[in-house]
Amino acid sequence: MSVVFLSTRPPTVSVEKLDAIAGRYGVALPGHEQPHYLHLLNGLDATLTQLSTLPVYTDPRLLPDPTTLPRTFVKLGGDAVKNPLNTWSHQTKISSTQPIHTRLAGKTIAVKDNVSIAGVPLTGGTFPELLTGKKEYPIPEIDAVVVKRVLEAGAVVKGSANCEHFSMSPLSFTSASGPVHNAWLRGYTTGGSSSGCAAAVAAMQVQGWRARHGLPSNDEEIGEGVDMAIGGDQGGSIRIPASYAGIYGLKPTHGLIPYTGIVSLIPMIDHTGPMTTTLEDNALLLSVLAGYDGMDPRCTPETPLRKNVVDYSALLACWKTEKEAKGEWTPQSAGRGLRVGVIRESLEVMGLTEEVKAIITAAAAQFKAVGADVQEVSIPMHTLGPSIWTIATRPFMCEMGLQNRVTPYPQYPMPDVTPPSFSQSAFDILNKHNPAVVNMFFNSAFLNEKPDANQMLARAMTHVQQLRDAYDAVLEDFDVLLTPVNPRVGSKHPEYEMTVDQKMEPAIGATLNTCQFNVTGHPALAMPAGWGMAPDGPGMLPVGMQLVGKRFDEMSIFKAAAAWEFGGLGLDRWNGQLN
């Protein structure tokens, strides 16, 4: 089959360019063949020129609801007075005058600053020259699907929350606008990369918690918060900050919530999901966000159509009512009928402190106390999960995540995100603010240049399936699996003047119980389990636990979490000492 390119313009590709291209493959073109291949290459160049004259097409399904216009914003990133925790990137107030339904009426929402809000600058946690090669941040023309859905449900979008540099840190000191502080203890990490989302929701959590415990308000110290936030998670970036912040953060099943209109790292591990002050709100927000959008290639045949998405919050309430009718909704029997597996290997990961281990052990005991069947289970591959996640993703991370190279599937490609090539100037900025991004460039180049790169990647992908199968096999006998989230209590922010090792050290091991479930796609919820002593200073900080369920079975996670909380909320395990 031959392809004929028709063009009346003079050729623009030179023989030297053709020879250079052939030389990349070690090919020396015979002289008599050069004109023919040159003709074909010039035909391609003419076709490219033709396409480049077309205006960028924006899918009308992503255009903002006219009733939410016009939109204004205030830049708050780095404003220590109006934004004391450095929670906010840009604040706004967007709502629809004609919502489709009112399930989120009265709820305020923030979104991670890699999520498109039409008319509001998008930063990705980095500097504009690293995101677009220009001095200005891009201003999207579209609303991400998750933004459209919360507006259709009657919520008020309060703005974009700061996130970590290119979404590549489990801590919260790398954002271009400065560190994001923990709402419970300033100067300490609130976790990343959805750091501002965690801080925004935690601000509301702190306010309500202090009121319940008879403590004075500290609103001026923590600033404005929101009821809910929408974060992103590629290795733990919803669950880790939720754990540090004492809130509820769900990484849903891969493909359950569309990722359209959000800056990607790698489609295989991209997740977006709810971060809330309560379990019930988490279930409510999930019901609004979930369901196929017709655009996101991460969705699969298992992804429900929107009309088929279950009402998680209503089902949870119905389940409680049924247990009440049977006399089982009590502190001794709320968990009756639930099977909980504690992953032994999750309690043996590198860097897990005895303090955190004791909190998770106590959480397992609370499941037993409310009547659940709790057993320790061994999943040896759990300890290999981080290595599988690393090798399966690093070869793609730079092109897809740091250069926004579009994958060959129909999608909305975020055309305004155009990072320049890695350079000395980029290194100088990243080395100061987030060495993890520099490391990612080096890692990706190292792996891709290995002679057996494709074989190693193929092997890693087979082990992704093996890892998924290992969890699926255990989940045939259990409703949820229990693990720690973070291996230690939240650390102090490092200083920018520290060495690379000093900046990276607090993050080591942070994802050892979370990143596995990004490649396998299983849903996982981080929720408050207790308190730990803040290192290097007085005070207490929240510690979270993780509940993992079968793919597309978020409902079992919500049931288990609700039953556990009937035995006492994690944040109410307080010894009277705070900060």
Catalytic residues: 112, 193, 237
Burial of 113 (0-12, 13-18, 19+ CB in 10 A): buried
* 231: β partners: 273
Distances (CA, A) of 401 to 145, 212, 531: 20, 43, 35
Alpha-carbon Rg of the chain, whole angstroms? 25
Q: Report which DSSP code applies to 487.
A: S
Q: Are 532 and 543 in contact (CB under 8 A)?
A: yes
> For the chain, percent helix, then strand, then coil, each to nearest 5?
40, 15, 50
Q: Are 175 and 183 in contact (CB under 8 A)?
A: no
Dihedral class, residue 577 (left if φ above 0, else alpha if ψ from -120 to 50, else beta): beta
Name residues whose C-beta falls within 8 Å of residue 555's C-beta, 6 or more positions apart in sequence.
310, 312, 315, 316
What's CA 384's distance to the chain center, in Å? 21
Cα–Cα distance measured from residue 191 to residue 486, given in angstroms and rounded to the nearest whole number = 9
Separation of alpha carbons 579 and 566, rounded Å: 27
Q: For residue 56, give the 3-state DSSP assignment.
A: coil
Please check whether residue 285 is in contact with residue 564, taking contact to mean a CB–CB distance below 8 angstroms.
no
Q: Are 192 and 237 in contact (CB under 8 A)?
A: yes
Backbone angles phi and psi of 127, in degrees to 5: -95, 150
* Residues whose CB is less than 8 angstroms from the CB of residue 29 and which lie 6 or more positions away in sequence, other chains included: 18, 19, 22, 37
